[in-house]
Amino acid sequence: MIRIILLINILVWANAALGQTAPLTYDRIHLSASANAEVANDILVAELYAFQEGQDAAALTNEVNAAIAWALELAKKSKAIKVQTLGYQTQPVYRNKRLDGWRVRQSLRLESIEPEQLAKLIGPLQERLRLQSVSYAISPARQREAEDALMVEALAAFRARAGLVRDELGAAAYRLVELRVDGGGPRPMPRAAVAMEMRAAAAPPALEPGTRDVRVTVNGTIELERR
């Protein structure tokens, strides 16, 4: 009697477990399509820094602060340039395990949608700052505009592939089960790195904006309806 009750309980549990599982699906196809375009960079970004090394930490700090303040005043004269100060560092210098001096550094980030204005400013700034890197980027507005246009292309390509699968497999129609649209964005931009001490105003660097690849990918699942 005990064995019969135990067997019934096992069968009831198994039926309940099967009832909780997802229903079986058939004729589901996973597809992907993408569209990409070369988009012109329209933002110029430059990073410069003030650096001093020596024995007197207070004097070094004053020199770096003065150089950054001078650069900020110069950069803020142009409303087309966004200015941001970056990390401030004061580091001890050891030789033979003994404190031998200090290094003080602070960076300045400049960004502009008018690259010509920033390019002209980089030269004079190198009178007291060092140029760390120059790079181009795509503005958020241009990025969104490009992705919206590419999304239309990618969705059209997805529909075309779904129709091709439907026709080749002899289905009457298909319905969309799941769809995901990913804007991959531009590939990381190359950085032109420079680290050289300039004690006189330098000529503006030669710069070419170039383009970057922007891609939108559509991934989805369709379910075929048989004739």
Is residue 62, in this structure, part of any structural domain at all?
A: yes
Copy the structure tokens of residue 180.
Answer: 């995901």
Q: What is the CATH number of the domain that holds 64?
A: 3.30.70.360
- The answer to whether residues 63 and 147 belong to one domain is no
Examine the fold and report which residue of 90, 114, 137 is the final residue of a domain before the chain moves on: 137
- The answer to whether residues 60 and 96 belong to one domain is yes
SS3 9: helix
- What letter would DSSP give residue 55? S
Copy the structure tokens of residue 41.
Answer: 């960079």
Number of domains in the chain: 2
pLDDT in tens, 27-81: 899 999 999 999 999 999 999 999 999 999 999 999 999 999 999 999 999 999 9
Q: Model's pTM, two decimal places? A: 0.66
Residue 101 lies in domain:
43-137
User: Percent of the chain having pLDDT more than 70?
Assistant: 78
The answer to whether residues 68 and 108 touch, using CB atoms and an 8 Å cutoff, is yes
- The answer to whether residues 107 and 218 belong to one domain is no
Confidence of residue 213 (pLDDT cuts 50, 70, 90): very high
Name residue 180's beta-bridge partners: 219
- The answer to whether residues 47 and 131 belong to one domain is yes
Q: What is the CATH number of the domain that holds 166?
A: 3.30.110.170
Q: For the residues 78-93, what does the mean pLDDT come to? A: 93
Confidence of residue 11 (pLDDT cuts 50, 70, 90): very low
Q: What's the Cα-to-Cα distance from 9 to each of 18, 21, 182, rounded to whole Å?
A: 14, 19, 48
pLDDT at 190 over 80: no
- The answer to whether residues 167 and 107 belong to one domain is no
